[in-house]
């Protein structure tokens, strides 16, 4: 199996997670960030060239196989498209982009270049999520009647004020894009597309700090007829409270909970019991706050398998586009109800 060479764009908190797994599974050949301090830290730790300009990295590092895009959301499409045009495969952090149009351009360029486009959706690897996926796919729960998704996190003023992009509409996109797109992905992955959406949102506690909502309530009807609700906020007092998904089926009820969909909280299923889940993952710890699960190793294992002709892309561009499309539709509904 050949060693895959990666170039990392973005040396922030999530970039640290990527760099760690790249160095363990492949070769981190170059890093780039607009911050001299950050990029020098990465360069020194991983003994690789550093760049302050994304285009300089592409111009000088001809032997890189894959570009990992870990920059602010609003830059994903531009940097992905340019990397594809230069003949590189791309691993793109969530969200894929902040508009469906940009997602379509990314997919088109991937096809033109005949290069792979991998979208980060690491929460699909959470052990309780895998268990639920199996139940849904094998119809153990029977017809799915309704689902309830709760996303109750804390993101205080310092989280936004200490960042040069979080909370800004153009680079961030909104709370559903930055905090909760993984949760929207799981709802789509598990239960399919959404037919109807009603949504309301407000900025209740972050006025003059962020340019969009900090809380929202969404009601959906899936194509399969199931009903769903999505309640989300970043106003949980002092710390993250819950990230949970409750599913009501004809033959069973199940709740995945914890703070990050990392625990099996409840099950009552006809003639079926999910065995104890021992491998409960820990979240990404960023010091002042915590994020979603630390499953990026699984993502990079898939990248390396695919590029060595031993697998298929676990989360492709079309799946990434569908998540952005759902979020875009929710925000359109929110605007319609202002």
Q: Which CATH number covers residue 18? A: 3.40.50.720
Tell me the average pLDDT across 144-167: 97
Q: In percent, how much of the chain has pLDDT > 70? A: 95
The confidence band for 276, taking pLDDT boundaries of 50, 70 and 90, is: confident
Same domain, 263 and 157: yes
- Indicate the DSSP class of residue 216: E
Please say whether the beta carbons of 167 and 210 come within 8 A.
yes
Token pair of 220 as six digits: 């959906």
The answer to the question of residue 75 being in a domain is yes
Same domain, 139 and 104: no
The answer to the question of residue 86 being in a domain is yes
The answer to the question of residue 330 being in a domain is no
Per the structure, how many domains does the chain have?
Answer: 2
Please tell me which residue, 274 or 260, carries the higher pLDDT value: 274
| Segment 235-264, tens digit of pLDDT | 999 999 999 999 999 999 999 998 889 899
Question: What three-state secondary structure class fits 329?
Answer: helix
Greatest Cα pair distance, the chain, in angstroms, is: 60
Same domain, 111 and 239: no
> Does the pLDDT of residue 286 top 70, yes or no?
no
The answer to the question of residue 68 being in a domain is yes
User: Which pLDDT value is given to residue 278?
Assistant: 62
Please say whether the beta carbons of 118 and 91 come within 8 A.
yes
Residue in the block written with tokens 């875009």: 328
Residue in the block written with tokens 């990050």: 260
Same domain, 111 and 147: no
User: Which pLDDT value is given to residue 293?
Assistant: 57
Please say whether the beta carbons of 8 and 15 come within 8 A.
yes
Same domain, 168 and 111: no
The runs of H, that is alpha helices, within 204-316 are 296-307
Domain that holds residue 236: 125-288
**DSSP line for 71-132:** S-GGGHHHHHHHHHHTT-EEEEPSSS-SSHHHHHHHHHHHHHHT--EEE--GGGG-HHHHHH
Instruction: Give whole-number Cα distances, 240 to 89, 128, 150, 156, 258, in Å.
Output: 35, 19, 12, 11, 10
The answer to the question of residue 32 being in a domain is yes
| Segment 102-118, tens digit of pLDDT | 999 999 999 999 999 99
The confidence band for 234, taking pLDDT boundaries of 50, 70 and 90, is: very high
């Amino acid at each position: 199996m050949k060693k895959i060479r990666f170039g990392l764009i973005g040396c922030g908190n999530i970039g640290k997670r990527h760099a760690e797994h790249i160095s363990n599974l492949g070769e981190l050949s170059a890093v780039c960030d607009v911050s001299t301090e950050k990029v020098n830290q990465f360069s020194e730790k991983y003994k690789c060239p550093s760049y302050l300009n994304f285009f300089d990295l592409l111009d000088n590092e001809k032997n890189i196989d894959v570009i990992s895009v870990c920059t602010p959301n609003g830059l994903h499409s531009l940097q992905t498209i340019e990397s594809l045009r230069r003949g590189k495969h791309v691993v793109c952090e969530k969200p894929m982009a902040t508009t469906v149009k940009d997602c379509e351009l990314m997919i088109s360029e991937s096809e033109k270049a005949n290069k792979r486009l991998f979208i980060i959706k690491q929460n699909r690897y959470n052990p309780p999520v895998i268990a639920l996926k199996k139940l849904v796919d094998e119809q153990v729960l029977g017809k799915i009647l309704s689902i309830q998704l709760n996303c109750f996190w804390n993101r205080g003023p310092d989280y936004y004020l200490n960042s040069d992009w979080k909370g800004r509409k153009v680079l961030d996109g909104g709370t559903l894009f930055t905090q909760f797109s993984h949760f929207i992905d799981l709802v789509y992955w598990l239960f399919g597309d959404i037919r109807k959406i009603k949504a309301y949102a407000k900025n209740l506690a972050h006025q003059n700090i962020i340019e969009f909502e900090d809380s929202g309530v969404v009601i959906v009807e899936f194509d399969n007829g199931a009903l769903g609700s999505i309640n989300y906020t970043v106003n949980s007092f002092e710390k993250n409270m819950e990230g949970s998904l409750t599913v009501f089926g004809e033959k069973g009820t199940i709740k995945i909970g914890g703070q990050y969909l990392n625990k099996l909280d409840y099950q009552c299923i006809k003639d079926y019991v999910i065995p104890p889940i021992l491998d409960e993952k820990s979240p990404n710890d960023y010091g002042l706050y915590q994020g979603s699960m630390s499953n990026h190793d699984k993502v990079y294992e898939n990248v390396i398998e695919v590029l060595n002709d031993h697998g298929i892309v676990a989360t492709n561009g079309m799946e990434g586009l569908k998540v952005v499309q759902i979020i875009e539709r929710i925000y359109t509904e929110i605007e319609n109800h202002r």
